[in-house]
A = this chain, B = another copy of it.
Amino acid sequence: MNIATLHYYFPTKEALVKGVVHHALGRFRTTLTAEGGATDLVRSHFEGLRRLGREEPQLFAVMGELALRAVRDPGIAAIMREIDETWHATLRGLLRRAQKDGALDKKIDPSDAAALIVATLKGVYLLPAGSLRQERLTQALRQLERWLGITRGRTSLASVAPRRTLPRPVE
């Protein structure tokens, strides 16, 4: 695509970045709109991210670029900050509701757990990792879900589970 054409639709680079972020955020929000209780929502958030990672991997590449570009660009940094806090607040609220529903251990601090979830998801999805990426991603999320007690049971979701790209290393 001709660069001048790009400038026709997005007058500045900053406008383009904002457009991309806007689109990406819309896609990410689809992972938090499922029906059901708080636990189901958290579960489907994880599942939705796995699906996006499979079907629209560019979304994560783009967010990774932005996250790292935020170091130098105060405008992008502001956007990322807001995303982070909104994300954290949403998860915190869901976990608190899950505790009220009796689905989450009451000894867990919802804010701490939300921070851990956000950090982990950012770690696995935004940072490029080597050939074992998919394997490590699956492992990290599995452990997180186990501790949260939201592991998927024998649900139909198993059909869309991420394929193991590499056999589990025998140790």
- Residue numbers of A with Cβ under 8 A of B are 61, 64-65, 67-71, 77-78, 80-82, 84-85, 88, 92, 96, 108-116, 118-124, 126-132, 135-137, 139-140, 142-144, 146-147, 168-169, 171
Give complex CA distance A68, B61 in Å.
Answer: 9
A131 touches which of B81, B92, B136, B147 (Cβ 8 Å)? B81
Query: B70 and A128: CB pair below 8 A?
Result: yes
Besides A112-B143, A112-B146, A121-B123, 10 other CB < 8 A contacts?
A78-B130, A81-B130, A82-B130, A109-B142, A111-B139, A115-B137, A115-B143, A119-B123, A123-B126, A126-B127
Instruction: For residue A40, give the distance in angstroms from its CB to the closest CB of chain B.
Output: 22
13 A-B residue pairings within 8 Å (CB atoms): A64-B68, A64-B71, A68-B68, A84-B129, A84-B132, A109-B142, A111-B168, A112-B146, A115-B137, A116-B139, A118-B123, A119-B119, A120-B140
The reply to whether A71 and B61 form a contact with Cβ atoms under 8 Å apart is: yes
Q: Knowing A124-B119, A129-B84 are in contact, say whether A112-B139 is a contact too (CB < 8 A).
A: yes
Q: Which 4 A-B pairs have the closest CB atoms?
A: A81-B130, A123-B123, A115-B139, A119-B123
A127: which of B67, B92, B96, B142 is its contact (CB, 8 Å)? B67
